[in-house]
Structure 1
Amino acid sequence: MIFIRKLTALNLAAGIKVRRIVGRIEDNYYNNHFLMQHDLFRELAIHISNQEPFENRKRLIIDVNGNHRPEWWPQQQQQQSIITHTLFYITKWFKDPNQKRVSALILSISTDQNINPDWCNIQADDAIVMVLNLKTTEYTLPKFIKKMRDEGVLIVTNYGFLPTELTNLRILESSWTLKRIRLQRVSGPYLCKLKSVCKLSLYMCEVKKAFENSSVEFSNAMPNLVDLNIEYCDDLVKLPTGLCDTATLKKLSISHCHKFTELPREIGKLENLELLRISYCADFEKLPESTTKLKNLRFLDISFCVSLKKLPDKIGELQNLTKLYMTGCPIHELPDSVLDLKNLESVICDQYAFHLWEVIASCCSRLNIKMSDMDVSLNWLLELGSQGFFI
């Protein structure tokens, strides 16, 4: 964020925008923040990057429209002599003559709906970040990804109106260096085994098919997952079977998933979970009693879950809980066990629950109670009304 603020101060970015307030800045939650860049600055940055030979660029940006390839891409001749034709097939046994090796650390490929999936033949062994910008309802992941040794981050963003269905996902299973995946407006038909992935972010994706119909248990698909973030996934109703067996999980965040109704009863098995955020989920009704077994939980956010009417009776067993956000929840009574939350330092709620926590604060000098901004609450209610939750 320090680097981003420097860009803003230099007018290289048009300022930090916020899609919807979920967390607060003091919690280092920036998932809904993004930067806008002027087209001229983007073109200038690409122009400067393109001054070097493509094979030496550390940031390689490829824009492909239809079958139009970049100028530096090798063009196969329509007609070849017999000698050239013979040499082509001889050399193909050893190395593909049309494959281009690049040394880019960041590789960005933008394609439109007319792209031929076999167009790309790159050797990008050094790439650590792979960005795919799509405008198509179906997309086959490039085969060269399988041979990328150092890839750490994969970002797939679909800018079309309909979700992109990704195919050929199993080529990712061979990567032992892929640490983070972020998918936006994407549909995946199944879960694949991603042994090294630590963070998975799903934004405006279709996840029901992959989560509920997969033959692979979630804990076996991503056994080292630490951070799972799901936002604006309208078809999410429940979490996949096996998530609670992912012992490494520390952060679980679900927001703006209006059809999401419940957490698994076995949620208490996530003994290393430190952050649990279920916010802006209109149909979410209940925190399972096993939530109180999350002994390492430090942060609980249930903001704007308008169907959630009570906290677990034994919530006081969350001895490490330090922050609780519950704005917009119709909770009119607190369980007696909240008095046992000895490490609770901060509670953010609306005016309806504020007086309840004031009584608790009188018994605990370290507890800080804040009333949320009512403008935010009003905007959220208006958004719910526009989606038919209220008449």
Structure 2
Amino acid sequence: MMESLRTSSIFLLSYLKRILEKVNGIDGRLERIETIGKRERVCSGNGLVGCCEVPEVRVSVVGFEEAVREVKMLVVSGGEQVVVVSAPGGCGKTTLAKIVCHDEDVTGMFKDNIFFVTASKAPNLKVIIERLFEHRGFKVPEFQTDEDAIYQLESMFKRTGANPILLFLDDVWSGLESLIEKMTIQIPEIKILVTSRIVFPRFKKSTYKLKLLSYKDAMALFRHSAFPQDGSSSIPDDLVDKIVRGCGGFPLALEVVGRSLCGKPKEIWKRTLKEWSQGESIFSSKSNKEILTHLQTSLNSLEERYMDCFLDLAAFPEDQRIPATALIDMWVGLNLDEDGGGAIANLLELSTRSLLDVVVTRKDASEISSYYNEHFVTQHDLLRELAIHQCSLELIDKRKRLIIEIEGNDFPRWWIEREQHLFCARLVSISTDEKFSSNWHDIQLPEVEVLVLNIQARNYTLPQFLEKMDQLKVLIITNYGFSSSEIHSIPLLGYLSSLKRIRFEHVLISSIGDSILKLRNLRKISFIMCEIAEAFRKCTISVPDVLPNLSEIVIDYCNDLVEFPLCLCEIRSLEELSITNCHELVTIGEDFGKLENLKVLRLHGCTELLELPESIGSLKKLNFLDMSDCIRLSKLPGQMGDLCGLREIHMRGCWGLSELPLSVKDLVHLKDVMSDEETAYLWQHFQIYLKNLELHVDKEDVNLDWLHLGFELTLEECEE
């Protein structure tokens, strides 16, 4: 009887863990989804879920107590439907609003009907409402007009319950106030919390003007940044006083300037004050002029490599998480870094100076050597503005970085007037919105080495001037729109003879031509959240020496991929392959063994993968294997023991494995196995053969409190 109960308990626990892993898998995807703003997309039956959660506050907060009380009263009162927090950039508007949204009185009133959306300079109400449908997990309708979108939103809210609704619109610019008013008229249950640098006359009655910090609070925040140990220092009080007063009560300026002076001798402090007294800025806003002048002098202490890193961040849109791997591609492609480690070190250095934040979304990512797919960078939009300002100090045809933003089809006048003029930029970033028609004007960019295309339109044609970029080494194409962008004119890439790295994110690629397969200098290609399965199905290798120098392929969150593309098995130069978080991947064919030079294989998060091919034993050079969270993986190949070069295995969450093949005793060079308690026991019988093996067990506490959701399991279901 006891044995029967024990067996049933094991079945039940196993089943519950599989459910928990599914839930955790969704959570992981949602973390990754946050990184791409409006691109957030999960391939599931009902669309997106959880993409509009209000972010937590991760910075030091000083002097906001009164402001929180007053804004909270405006939000929870039955008065005006729209509450606006207004202040210049760098004052902490967003931080204040986040604190309010996480206040227990506010969450008690609105429950789970609190939504966060970052607006844009070119507001689009339909895009905002699409994201709210995503968040609730509903299929997104095709909205005909703004009015139709609001009507559909009202219907969706009525279906989800009777609680009032709080919509937090962050960083709203002029042009959206009329749309906000339409929404409040049609949906009386909604309350909208807005942060903006602008004071909107329509909402003047319910506008809270966030004041700058008092001298006392400013001093406390500054000391926290400049003297992080205990707030004391040998710097004379009069110097500290002048610096604090010079920051004018702006929280962002106090943090950035404080970090830049941290640990510096008093001579540097005196020089900073002198520079402030002479500083000039081209910005018209008096408040922005003051803060940007002070922030600009804070950059003077940066070494050249850190300054370049800071300026390169301007190539990506504001209010978006920047993948660290995109930055690494830029810098490795330009021979400024070897393996990404230097890039991460640079980012962490800038983070210590409050010039950006580094976010890691996978808890064990730091344990995996040279793996940075879960590292992201965020940056205050005012700091991005500062970087763009720094880039624009040179004449336009002499700039090293050219940052171009196109609204609709309105190209900058200088572009149209100088079509045949040569520009000297090495890095070019071109951002277009959903209205862009891909009707390109010509431009001469003979020296460009990095091209970043930030897109939103559902159909996007690559510019014809690509074929003249003989020096281009890195191409990054990222879609920030709601739906995947289909990329046209892919054969143009065949002209890029110097190209080393290509990165596609959230795009649809319908075909891969022979012209790309002939790129002799290509080292790495990445597909992130892309639709690529059809392109690979059509691909037949017809060139004898396919991609002879391609050493790395990254395929991440590509949920239309069901089987590993056979054509990729012909790329004999491949050394590193990452197929991660591809939740529909089921099979990997036996041709996989042709990848004889493969050294690193990552398969983590492929939750439907059933088994590895027997031919994996042919990969004699493989030294690293990560199959963590492959929860359906039921067995390992009998040829595992033939992996004579294997040094490290990651297999946390491989709960479907009940045994290891006997041949693993031959993995005499295996040194590290990263496991959990559920799979660690599998190695116990082999440790007598593997003298160098170190078993690292993650003792994760499995919390089953979520069972209150009401799962009803029969014994038959558990045994299944």
Task: Give the alignment's TM-score, normalised by structure 1.
Answer: 0.87
What's the CA shift for 1:216?
Answer: 4.7
2:633 equivalent in structure 1: 308
Aligned mates of 1:315, 1:46 — CA distance in 2: 52
**Counterpart check, 1:253 vs 2:578:** yes
What's the CA shift for 1:135?
Answer: 0.8
Post-superposition Cα deviations, 1:2-33, rounded to whole Å, max 9, x if no partner, equal 1111111111102x212335744441200121
Aligned mates of 2:544, 2:450 — CA distance in 1: 25
Which of the residues 519, 528, 536 maps onto 1:203?
A: 528
Aligned mates of 2:557, 2:363 — CA distance in 1: 13
- 8 Å CA contact 1:358–1:369 kept in 2: the answer is no
**Counterpart check, 1:46 vs 2:373:** no
- 8 Å CA contact 2:546–2:570 kept in 1: the answer is no
2:353 equivalent in structure 1: 10
1:103 equivalent in structure 2: 424
Aligned mates of 1:104, 1:243 — CA distance in 2: 35
Post-superposition Cα deviations, 1:223-244, rounded to whole Å, max 9, x if no partner, equal 4321011000010112223221
Say which one has the larger Rg. Answer: 2
- 8 Å CA contact 1:218–1:241 kept in 2: the answer is no
**Counterpart check, 1:166 vs 2:487:** yes
Aligned mates of 1:30, 1:121 — CA distance in 2: 36
Identity of aligned residues (%): 39
In structure 2, the CA distance between the partners of 1:378 and 1:254, relative to structure 1 (3 Å rule), is farther
> Alignment partner of 2:660: what SS?
coil
Aligned mates of 1:171, 1:202 — CA distance in 2: 18
**Counterpart check, 1:150 vs 2:150:** no
Post-superposition Cα deviations, 1:117-151, rounded to whole Å, max 9, x if no partner, equal 23332111111100000011011101111000110
Alignment of 1:338-357 (within 5 A): 338-357=664-683
1:214 equivalent in structure 2: 539
- 8 Å CA contact 2:649–2:674 kept in 1: the answer is yes
- 8 Å CA contact 1:67–1:115 kept in 2: the answer is yes
In structure 2, the CA distance between the partners of 1:221 and 1:115, relative to structure 1 (3 Å rule), is farther
1:372 equivalent in structure 2: 698
- 8 Å CA contact 1:239–1:263 kept in 2: the answer is yes
Deviates more, 1:283-292 or 1:112-121: 112-121
> Alignment partner of 2:348: what SS?
helix
Alignment of 1:222-233 (within 5 A): 222-233=547-558
> Alignment partner of 2:346: what SS?
helix
1:89 equivalent in structure 2: none
1:182 equivalent in structure 2: 503
Which amino acid counterpart does residue 420 of structure 2 have in structure 1? Answer: Q
Which amino acid counterpart does residue 479 of structure 2 have in structure 1? Answer: N
> Alignment partner of 1:374: what SS?
coil
Aligned mates of 2:525, 2:695 — CA distance in 1: 33
Which of the residues 37, 55, 60 maps onto 2:379?
A: 37
Aligned mates of 2:381, 2:409 — CA distance in 1: 25
Which amino acid counterpart does residue 674 of structure 2 have in structure 1? Answer: I
Which amino acid counterpart does residue 357 of structure 1 have in structure 2? Answer: W
User: Greater strand percent: which structure?
Assistant: 1
2:437 equivalent in structure 1: 116
In structure 2, the CA distance between the partners of 1:21 and 1:173, relative to structure 1 (3 Å rule), is farther
What's the CA shift for 1:300?
Answer: 0.8
User: Greater helix percent: which structure?
Assistant: 2
What's the CA shift for 1:309?
Answer: 1.2
> Alignment partner of 1:100: what SS?
coil
Aligned mates of 2:443, 2:699 — CA distance in 1: 51
Which of the residues 566, 585, 609 maps onto 1:284?
A: 609
The number of equivalent residue pairs is 361
Aligned mates of 1:226, 1:363 — CA distance in 2: 33
1:359 equivalent in structure 2: 685
What's the CA shift for 1:282?
Answer: 1.4
- 8 Å CA contact 1:239–1:264 kept in 2: the answer is yes
Aligned mates of 2:565, 2:595 — CA distance in 1: 14
1:332 equivalent in structure 2: 658
Post-superposition Cα deviations, 1:182-231, rounded to whole Å, max 9, x if no partner, equal 00001111012322321011000001111112355598663432101100
- 8 Å CA contact 1:287–1:312 kept in 2: the answer is yes
Deviates more, 1:162-171 or 1:110-119: 110-119
Post-superposition Cα deviations, 1:32-86, rounded to whole Å, max 9, x if no partner, equal 21110110000010011112111111011000001222243335xxxxxxxxxxx
> Alignment partner of 1:74: what SS?
helix
